[in-house]
Chain A
């Protein structure tokens, strides 16, 4: 076990000494300031199993800077963006920040540093960058109140680990919102000092440090004086005074010849066999007499030095004694502590070699000094402004963009229900549906189509406005769209009755006016005048177009009544501006006398003026009137005027509004 243990240690120790290609010496450190005030910290290469100072130096990460493309353009982008379109979330305004950084000396700095090393430090050589490792997964840190605030910055992404090789790049990207962009841009543009963005890289590097200095010295020349002294007090000892026994034995047996005679080192009798406790006492005696000296310098707890002493006692036993197998007794307390698995007490005899060592008065020194590899931290911090100033006049790096690319724009069509239609909803109109279509010319594109329906419920719930939105992408004329409208009317009618052709939409939007419009016709008569002329009732007969058909409405005033005024709402086609009318006077003796059909435009008021022919009893005229009044009811069950009785064709030029062509 004792022999194997050192080999195990060797196996664990050697790899750690050989795998490290670059080992830095903590005791060989330089700091050099270059002309541009860049401070460079260098470590010398550690010499293997030696404290000698190497002249080969490696530098720690320094000179953090913006990286550049091959053409010299800094790899930096600060792009403020806005849009012609308003956005409730404000996502169309802000700024994009993207930059790539690297560290390490430039060629010029390396040349300068190598020159300083060579001239100032006796021919020292610059070998390159020191091996470093990132200080954890968060070894890149962004220091910025603006970018660190979620209120001002929508997103921030960057490499978590600092790169370990000079020239490797670190990417940082941020999307700032509108306010964050303004604040950040202000710190860049309004100052020449610094920006609200500093970057910090944290590294670890490994150096070899002198961990401890110490030695164990065995000075066998001091045995002489010890033996001489002990010989003077040589005496029989009791069994418990082990140290005296061994010392006396060594004095008497080992040195009996020279001092007392070289008598049998392996002489017979129990005096040649020693227990574990006897040897411990003997070892302590040797320490007291400075034959064995332990010296160890280190800021460590004292129990570690005690362990060294224990370990060296093991070494002493292993080197100078053999177990003779004559134990067969209960192990002592000390033995149990040193060898927990011991079952029987051991018995030891001195090896033959010790006589030569002691006789030759050898001095043996065990060097306990050793070095260890420890990790040290190193940080690199710089502010953005120093790099930004190099780039702010470079349009490749800093810019403003208005997000007006039609590809990303939308076309909003406001569909508004006309006020007249609102009034008619639930009365003359059940609902209206508008179908909007956007045909796209781009290859592989899809057409857009959407329906919107207004009825009384949606009108109450959502109002009279609906917005239909389509993308302007993939089309040569993104503003153009088409539509068609269908109205559902009282009585189960639809207008237009068939799905008609698509109409081109206007850029303003769509106003859904019903095809018919309400008009309130006010009709008045002079009751006294009617009575005086024998007229019992007068009726205003109106003919007008509704959904393209000629329809009739009658409004009457009775002379026996009290109201000389009557009114009625009619719904006539929007593309007409007037109506045909006639008056039917009901003579108390002759019956109904109808006037000729005439036309009226742009007025909703009619007065029942009794014709002078009736007042004058013009028989010819009255006869024509009586004839005309023979057919007073000319509508069928659907309210349409029979073909034979239609009159509007005669007034088409007056009543119809020429249809505008879009």
Chain B
């Protein structure tokens, strides 16, 4: 009898789901959500696992320009001109973005959990999320956005694991190169332009969107003298 019940149960599942593979979310308790604020004011949202109330997973956070081992921003703007030219001919720009907690920030969050939940609470890692192929550019300065979009030579997808990187490379020709060059001396032109990385639960529902001001990227890049090469 038990055997037949098992088979019949399997048959039911086959009838119901057939070959379709629905997307499924990581089982966390949405009602158990809590927020930790890091020293740098970044908010980290955490959810306890459904079957382990002491194990917490965090949503993507802390989108930023990634850095090298020596903490140089992973940013490059380089323009050039020929000897015969009076002004810049062309240029390239390359950046790498990343998200997630640093080792120190993980400790901050761990201490936050201990304070807010229990001494046994533990950071398990990042929630499983999905992301689209490319980041989005939003903002009011449509001309600059169009220039960036039109100059994007190649770019990798949005990383779905913390510490993963998203690389983008731009090639600016002629007037476009000169325009971007000018904006590096006048960073306010980047005001209101954002890089957006939307993340989705694995069932396709929106989970969280990370935003990073383009001006922040440019500020970090231009502060680093070895990241910007412009002909004199």
Contacts and interface: CB of A to CB of B under 8 A. Distances in A.
Interface in A224-268: none
B76 interface: yes
A145 B9 CA distance: 56
Interface string A198-229: 10101000000111000000000000000000
Interface string A488-515: 0000000000000000000000000000
Contact of A37 (B73, B103, B161): B103
A609 interface: no
A376 B203 CA distance: 12
Contacts of A379: 156-157, 159-161, 164
A386 B72 CA distance: 11
Contact of A193 (B13, B74, B203): B74
A198 B171 contact: no
Nearest to A210: B27
A304 B15 CA distance: 9
B9 A367 contact: yes
Contacts of B86: none
A318 B96 contact: no
B169 A198 contact: yes
Nearest to A316: B8
Interface stretch (A5-13, A401-409, A430-438, A573-581): A5-13
Interface in B181-232: 202-203, 224, 226-227, 229
A397 to B, nearest CB: 19
Contacts of B143: none
B175 interface: no
A400 B38 CA distance: 49
B216 to A, nearest CB: 16
Contacts of A380: 164
Contacts of B26: 26-27, 29, 209
A398 B231 CA distance: 25
B40 interface: no
Interface centre among B8, B49, B203 (most CB of A within 10 A): B8
A26 B78 contact: no
B160 A319 contact: no
Given A53-B52, A143-B154, A368-B13, A195 B165 contact: no
A246 B211 CA distance: 64
B39 interface: no
Given A31-B126, A183-B78, A382-B165, A299 B22 contact: yes
Nearest to B19: A12
A4 to B, nearest CB: 10
Given A6-B7, A386-B69, A193 B169 contact: no
Given A13-B10, A29-B124, A39 B70 contact: no
B226 A191 contact: yes
Contact of B12 (A39, A299, A308, A376): A308
Nearest to A373: B21
Interface centre among B9, B101, B163 (most CB of A within 10 A): B9
A308 B24 CA distance: 19
A647 interface: no
Contacts of A10: 7, 10
B68 A187 contact: no
14 contacts: A30-B124, A31-B162, A39-B161, A39-B164, A62-B163, A141-B156, A144-B153, A198-B96, A311-B15, A319-B4, A366-B9, A378-B161, A379-B156, A380-B164
Those 9 A-B pairs whose CB atoms lie nearest each other, nearest first: A31-B125, A39-B163, A198-B167, A6-B7, A145-B171, A200-B156, A145-B153, A381-B165, A311-B12
Given A27-B49, A31-B126, A366-B8, 7 more contacts: A27-B51, A41-B125, A192-B226, A198-B165, A312-B12, A319-B5, A364-B5
